[in-house]
Amino acid sequence: MGHDHDHGAGLERAGERHKGRLVAAFVLIGGFFVVEAVAGIWTNSLALLSDAAHMLTDVIGIGMALAAIQLASRFERRRDEARSRHTFGLYRLEILAAFVNALLLFGVAFWVLIEAARRLTDGPEVLGTPMLVVAALGLLANIVAFLLLRAGSKESLNVEGAYLEVLADTVGSVGVIVAAVLLQLFGWAWVDPVIGAAIGLWILPRTWHLGRRAVRILLQAAPEGVDIDELADRLAGLDDVVDVHDLHVWTLTSDMDAASAHLMVTDDADTHGVLDQARHLLADRYGITHGTFQVEPSSHVGCADVTW
């Protein structure tokens, strides 16, 4: 754009920057999921089984996140191939992984709620001491994974999906510990399904937020915080610009927003200057560094023929 036509790869994607921490969290959570699932079946604890189920979604979710990052990175290295069918690369796979993570979390939460309701009237005997020991170890594993993913969750929606699952497990492990202590002290059998249901209810709003953000990106909605009408007015206010149409702003993946527009200018306009102004407006005001502009002289006709 403008005088500088260097369209290099730029900054490394947010997901790629945190891949090593995702791998460490995957190994840690995957190993402990097996321990907690076996212990949940042995102790008959719904709270422990619900925490293990959340860990399973962690393993699947983090695995999908890693696969999406790997595929996107592999395709990125081949982006200059002229015959490529994926002209935007495979970056969107990271958002698709985040969306599937949200679906998994919804499924687990509803299963726990249904099972908790059943166990309130007819629940098996729960072994409190083994349940307490395993829950304490699970809490330790979740805290380590939580710290590994916290920084990346602020930059990548894909990493945020994995982070929210680990966060849910961390809270879940605390709940299981509370249930085990109350079960040991007072013999309250009802506390196990109640804590299990509370874990499911706690994660639902966070899962909704993650899924909503992923859907917005998949539907190519404008990034939150970008007022399309305001942007159109600002572009129209640039020197020599007389009209703005076909304006689109969307998110490709986390930290990668893009925009395109047709700028109609006066016949004697400095098109280089118009492009530079538009580029700086996007970058400085909206943080969008990838913009594609079609500059049209006011005497040009043809855009009105496009029907969508």
- Nearest alpha carbon to residue 54 among 33, 25, 27, 28: 33
For the chain, percent of residues with pLDDT exceeding 90: 18
pLDDT, mean of residues 266-277: 91
Report the alpha-carbon distance of residue 221 to residue 223 in Å, rounded.
6
Report the alpha-carbon distance of residue 240 to residue 114 in Å, rounded.
64
Local confidence band at 11 (pLDDT 50, 70, 90 cut-offs):
very low
Look at 1-15, 52-66, 99-113, 265-279 and tell me which has the smallest mean pLDDT: 1-15
At 189 the pLDDT is 76
In the chain, the domains with their CATH numbers are 14-218 (1.20.1510.10), 228-305 (3.30.70.1350)
At 6 the pLDDT is 46
Looking at per-residue pLDDT, the higher value among 307 and 232 belongs to: 232
At 277 the pLDDT is 94
At 123 the pLDDT is 61
pLDDT in tens, 102-127: 887 788 788 778 878 877 776 666 66
Secondary structure element (H or E) that encloses residue 239, with its range: none
191 pLDDT exceeds 70? yes
At 238 the pLDDT is 93
282 pLDDT exceeds 80? yes
At 241 the pLDDT is 93
* Strand stretches in the chain, DSSP E: 241-253, 256-265, 290-297
Report the alpha-carbon distance of residue 141 to residue 161 in Å, rounded.
18
Count CA within 13 A, CB hemisphere, residue 191: 18
Local confidence band at 275 (pLDDT 50, 70, 90 cut-offs):
very high
Other Cβ atoms within 10 Å of 303 Cβ, number: 13
pLDDT, mean of residues 270-289: 91
At 237 the pLDDT is 93
DSSP state of 221: P
pLDDT in tens, 122-142: 666 666 677 788 888 888 888
At 249 the pLDDT is 95
Does the pTM of the predicted model rise above 0.75?
no
pLDDT, mean of residues 172-187: 81
**What average pLDDT does the chain have?**
79
Backbone phi and psi for residue 275, each to the nearest 5 degrees, phi listed first? -60, -45
At 253 the pLDDT is 77
At 276 the pLDDT is 93
pLDDT, mean of residues 77-95: 63
Local confidence band at 274 (pLDDT 50, 70, 90 cut-offs):
very high
The torsion of the CA quartet 58, 63, 68, 69, rounded to 10 degrees, works out to: 100
